[in-house]
């Protein structure tokens, strides 16, 4: 059966153990992904979160209110089929990590970036032996091969569920270091969002907020916080 029927047809969404993990059943019928794969989830906590989303649906299914289900589908239907490629895509952010590109002026912004970002570059060096190079301006700076390899190795060790979360943790912040810091439990996704917005918040303080940009930022923030939650669900029994 396809889990994405337009109208609700079930009364109860339940979690059951299955081979390889846990699944969600709607009145006894197992949910499948959009690609018709079995929705086998790695932890009971993730399965319960998916079941809660299905149970909360009204007369019609609204996928926008089912972020855990969507991320699980992405892991199974998209990441699993190209796991190495997704890992490489994520690891490539280490070559142009947001934390490495600093303003030349004004001095106050330069100081804010250093105060917010230096500790996390130090953390990456301590945790992974990956010392990234910092530059002023937007021209690309080559990163040490050893540092890139160390960070890429950490990303490659992730399973499909972790990669689904890390893809957004890194892509939304623009920083492999911040994404990994959230994954390692060193920082909350909300704080990673704040750190990734140092430049934007500076511009808003100087010139005011743009309504459309603010709406887009709110959506990205929500997605980032969800990615952090999805990672936690992967590691919660």
What are 68-115's pLDDT values in tens digits?
999 999 999 999 999 999 999 999 999 999 999 999 999 999 999 999
Q: 162 and 90: one domain?
A: yes
3-state secondary structure 83-140: HHHHHHHHHHHHHHCHHHEECCCCHHHHHHHHHHHHHHHHHHHHHHCCCCCCEECCCC
127 inside domain: yes
**Is residue 2 over pLDDT 50?**
no
Per the structure, the count of domains in the chain is: 2
- Short-list 96, 90, 49, CA closest to 182: 90
SS3 220: helix
Check if the beta carbon of residue 3 is closer than 8 Å to that of residue 76.
no
41-73 tens-digit pLDDT = 999 999 999 999 999 999 999 999 999 999 999
- 136: tokens are 């002023």
Residue 1 lies in a domain: no
CATH number at residue 174: 1.10.3580.10
Same domain assignment for residues 178 and 96: yes
**Do the domain assignments include residue 104?**
yes
Regarding whether 164 and 125 lie in a shared domain, the answer is: yes
Contact 207, 213 (CB under 8 A): no
pLDDT, tens only, 181-226: 999 999 999 999 999 999 999 999 999 989 999 999 999 999 999 9
152: in domain = yes
User: What whole-number distance in Å separates Cα of residue 4 and Cα of residue 210?
Assistant: 36
- Proportion of the chain above pLDDT 70, given as a percent: 98
The pLDDT value given to residue 5: 53
CB-CB contact of 91 with 152 (8 Å): yes
Phi and psi dihedrals of 7, rounded to 5? -115, 145
**Residue 152 Cα distances to 6, 13, 67, 176, angstroms:** 41, 39, 27, 10
Q: Is 72 among the domain residues?
A: no
Instruction: Taking each helix axis as running N to C, give the angle between helix 176-183 and helix 107-128, from 0 to 180 degrees, rounded to the nearest 10.
Output: 50
CA distances from 130 to 25, 61, 79 (A): 44, 45, 26
Burial (CB < 10 A; 0-12, 13-18, 19+), residue 34, is middle
pLDDT for res 159: 98
Residues 16, 24: Cα–Cα separation, whole Å:
6
| Domain assignment present for 179 | yes
117-140-173 Cα angle (round to 5): 40
Peptide bond into 106 cis (omega under 30): yes
Angle between the N-to-C axes of helices 160-173 and 67-74, in degrees from 0 to 180, rounded to the nearest 10 = 110
| pLDDT for the residue numbered 18 | 97
> In this structure, is residue 26 part of a structural domain?
yes
Query: Could you list the residue range(s) of the whole structural domain that residue 139 is in?
Result: 82-234
């Amino acid at each position: 059966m396809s889990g994405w029927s337009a109208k609700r047809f079930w009364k109860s969404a339940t979690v059951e153990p299955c081979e390889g993990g846990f699944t969600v059943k709607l009145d006894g019928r197992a949910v499948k992904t959009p690609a018709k794969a079995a929705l086998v989830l790695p932890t009971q906590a993730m399965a319960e979160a998916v079941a809660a989303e299905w149970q909360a649906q009204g007369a019609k299914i609204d996928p926008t209110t089912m972020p855990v289900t969507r991320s699980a589908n992405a892991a199974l239907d998209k990441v699993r089929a190209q796991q190495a490629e997704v890992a490489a895509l994520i690891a490539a952010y280490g070559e142009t990590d947001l934390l490495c590109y600093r303003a030349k002026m004004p001095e106050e912004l330069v100081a804010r970036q250093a105060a917010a970002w230096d500790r996390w570059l130090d953390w990456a060096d301590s945790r992974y032996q990956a010392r990234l190079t910092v530059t002023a301006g937007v021209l690309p700076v080559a990163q040490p091969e050893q540092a890139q390899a160390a960070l890429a190795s950490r990303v490659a060790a992730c399973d499909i569920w972790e990669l689904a979360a890390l893809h957004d943790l890194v892509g939304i912040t623009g920083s492999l270091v911040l994404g990994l810091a959230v994954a390692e439990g060193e920082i909350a996704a909300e704080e990673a969002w704040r750190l990734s917005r140092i430049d934007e918040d500076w511009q808003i303080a100087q010139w005011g907020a743009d309504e459309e940009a603010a709406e887009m930022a709110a959506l990205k923030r929500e997605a980032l916080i969800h990615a952090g939650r999805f990672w936690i669900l992967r590691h919660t029994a």
